[in-house]
Each structure stands twice: as structure tokens, then as C-alpha cells.
Amino acid sequence: MNVTSKYAQSLAELKAKPTHYLKEVGDQWQTPPALFWGVFAKFGPFVLDLFTDGENNKCANYYTAEDNALIQDWADDLNGCKAFANPPYSRSSYEDEQAITGMRNIIEKTRAERDKGAKVIYLIKSATSEVWWPEDADHVCFIRGRISFDLPTWFKPANKKQAASSAGFACAIAVFDKDWQGSRMSYINRDDLLRDGKIILDIINAAALHIPTAINAQKTIEYKNASKVTNESIDLENTTIESNYGDVVTNEQIDLEHLIAQVKHKEAAFSKWPSEVQYVVEEAFKANPNKFNDYRQAVLSEIANTRLLEQQRPSKIIAELSEMLERTEPMRAEA
């Protein structure tokens, strides 16, 4: 994507420098993984990271400085799901009178998107005296204990003194969700957030270590050269697919009942997918309720997962999957 603002250009130039100093990091301090997953556990799930440098995103879908989150349609991209953000705190900057940064601009944009149905959860400085402080947030959870943030992945310390984390400061979690039903304010201990986040990280790491075994033990569907899946139209019933049971079906009608029988014989189940994958697949089937079966669900989940990893918007993925289903035959009702 082309760099279109002075702010984005400056960030690109900073990332390209051979070495860096702490004072240059500015807006780009990263949310520690355990802290993010702690917030995720309490207020998620999240499917979109609103403010990133292109490398520090916490969600598969994200906006970069080049995208400029303040001109995007959050509500449309979220389509009922939630967004996360650790927003930039630099002073307001503009390009052709369009705001790019500035907490007052960000909170103003957030209010407008909330009115349209967006659900946004911020990790922000606990700065209640600032003019931008979101008094009208639907919920604010103050974090007991100071938070330190991580250096960006692209940071190359100019010397040993530069290899350090940020100074800790008080933080809060602000929820913008017009459907919020809870209290307006609460408190949580930093260590509890970090503990819960570490539990999720441990689960993720354990699952990653067992992926080869799980794949061999379960009936899963693998796309040939999955990383090369494009936006071209895909025929669900005429696609080359390989299963871990050794069956290869090439450009001919797939015997779905035979594959399903193999799954039952092996006492295996289709892969479990993240909530954002499940969401887009369910939405596609809502428009085509008579096209559902487990095999098609598995194929669409593979495609949806690939698209999300490519940072495509959920609404676009749902439209693509729905189009694929429209070209398939309806399932016959059981006698």
C-alpha cells in the first residue's frame, strides 16, 4: 500500500533506520502479549486491531498508519464483532485537513463508530484529567498496578542503554459498546490480567507443539498450496483436496458421504477454529441454510482462515463464501 501521509512516511523511515534510540519509539510501544490476552479473556474476542505499525498487530485483521484508521468504516469491517486498540498518544496530526493521530480525534471517531454499532475496547493511559478522557465510555476498568510496554519488533538498539522497556504508568480499559449491560466502572489487578493472559499463551503454545500429532490423529482437510489461495472463484465441489486418510480427489465430484463415513470410522472430528473463522462461516451458511454439511463447513473454514491471515475484511470473506455456496447443490432432506 502506498504511503499517503507525512506521519506514515516518518514511521516508514524510522523503521528503515539501521539503529534506533528509545526516544524515537514514540507511538510504537507494543502491548505485552500476556497483557493483551488478559484483556482478550475478559473483554474479547477481538477480530480487528485499529492502530498498528504493520508489525505489532494483535489480530489477524488490522489497520496500519498507511490505512489511517480514522478514515475507515469500523462498524462495517467489524460486522458485529469487537476491535482492540492501544492507540497512539502523539499530538494531533493532519493530512489535507484529515486527522491521522490525536486522542481527541480518536475518541471522537470512536463515538461515531459506536453509534453505528461498532464495539471497541481500548487499553489507554489512566489520564482522567486529559481533555480526551472518555467520560462517556460505556465501561471503564481501571488496572491496579503500573504497566510497562514492549519495544517494537523492528527496533534495533543503537547501544546497550537502548535495550529496555517503557517506564510503567497507570492504565485503564475503556469499552465503547452501546449494547453494554454491565456497570459503568470496575477495577482489576494487573497481575490477574497477566496471569489469565499467560494461561491463554500457554494453551496456544501447547497446541502449537501438538499440531503435527493432532493433524495425524484427526480427519482434517488440507488445501494444496494453501498459502497460494487467491481471490479467484473456487468451486467447492470440484477442488483438489487431500485428506490425512490418503484420499485425493482431483477435479471430479466429491463423494461426501464416503468422506464423512471415514471421519466416523476414525472417531475424529473436524478442526476447531478461532471464533472469527467460525463467525464468517456461520454467516455464509445463514444465507444458504440448505447447503450445509460438515465437509463444506470444513472447506469454508480453511478458506476463511487463509483470508483472515491475509488481513481481508470479514464482510468481504462472508460475501466470497456465500458466492461459493450459491454454486453448490442443496443438501437433500433426510427421509
Give residue-wise pLDDT tens across range 54-93.
889 999 999 999 999 999 999 999 999 999 999 998 888 7
Residue range 41-51: average pLDDT?
A: 95
Residue range 284-306: average pLDDT?
A: 84
Residue range 288-307: average pLDDT?
A: 83
**Higher per-residue confidence, 335 vs 321:** 321
What's the confidence (pLDDT) of residue 269?
40
**Higher per-residue confidence, 295 vs 54:** 54
Asked whether residue 335 is domain-assigned, the answer is no
What's the confidence (pLDDT) of residue 104?
94
Residue 17 has pLDDT above 90, yes or no: yes
Q: How many CA atoms lie within 13 A of 77 on its CB side?
A: 22
Domain of residue 101 covers: 6-209
Find residue 158's DSSP bridge partners: none
Same domain, 182 and 217: no
Residue range 29-44: average pLDDT?
A: 94
What's the confidence (pLDDT) of residue 121?
98
Which has the closest alpha carbon to 175: 119, 117, 103, 125?
Answer: 119
Same domain, 49 and 110: yes
Same domain, 29 and 132: yes
Residue range 302-328: average pLDDT?
A: 83
Name every residue whose Cβ is closer than 8 Å to that of residue 278 and which is 6 or more positions away in sequence: 301
Same domain, 143 and 236: no
What's the confidence (pLDDT) of residue 18?
94
Q: What percent of the chain has pLDDT over 90?
A: 44
Q: pLDDT tens digit string along 249-283?
A: 333 333 433 433 444 333 334 456 677 788 889 99
Mapped onto helix, strand or coil, the DSSP state of residue 335 is coil
Same domain, 312 and 256: yes
Per the prediction, the chain carries an average pLDDT of: 80
Of the three residues 154, 186, 209, the one that is the final residue of a domain is 209
Residue 197 has pLDDT above 60, yes or no: yes
C-alpha cell at position 88: 497512539
Same domain, 164 and 264: no
Asked whether residue 195 is domain-assigned, the answer is yes
**Higher per-residue confidence, 88 vs 311:** 88
Asked whether residue 334 is domain-assigned, the answer is no
Q: Per mean pLDDT, which of 58-62, 161-165, 286-290, 331-335 is the most reliable? A: 58-62
* Amino acid at residue number 182: G
pLDDT band of residue 31 (cuts 50, 70, 90) is very high
- Cβ atoms of residues 245 and 260 within 8 Å: no
Number of domains present in the structure of the chain:
2
Measured CA to CA, the distance from residue 167 to residue 163 in angstroms comes to: 13
Of the three residues 189, 209, 229, the one that is the final residue of a domain is 209
The helix-helix angle for 275-286 and 314-326 (nearest 10°) equals 40
Residue range 145-156: average pLDDT?
A: 91
Name every residue whose Cβ is closer than 8 Å to that of residue 16 and which is 6 or more positions away in sequence: none
Of the three residues 209, 234, 249, the one that is the final residue of a domain is 209
Burial 133-170 (b: 16+ CB within 10 A, else e): bbeebbbbbebeeebebebbebbeeeeeebeeeeeeee
pLDDT band of residue 210 (cuts 50, 70, 90) is low
Sheet (strand 46-52) strand order:
61-64, 46-52, 82-85, 119-125, 171-176, 139-144, 185-189
Asked whether residue 200 is domain-assigned, the answer is yes
What CATH number did the domain enclosing 105 receive? Answer: 3.40.50
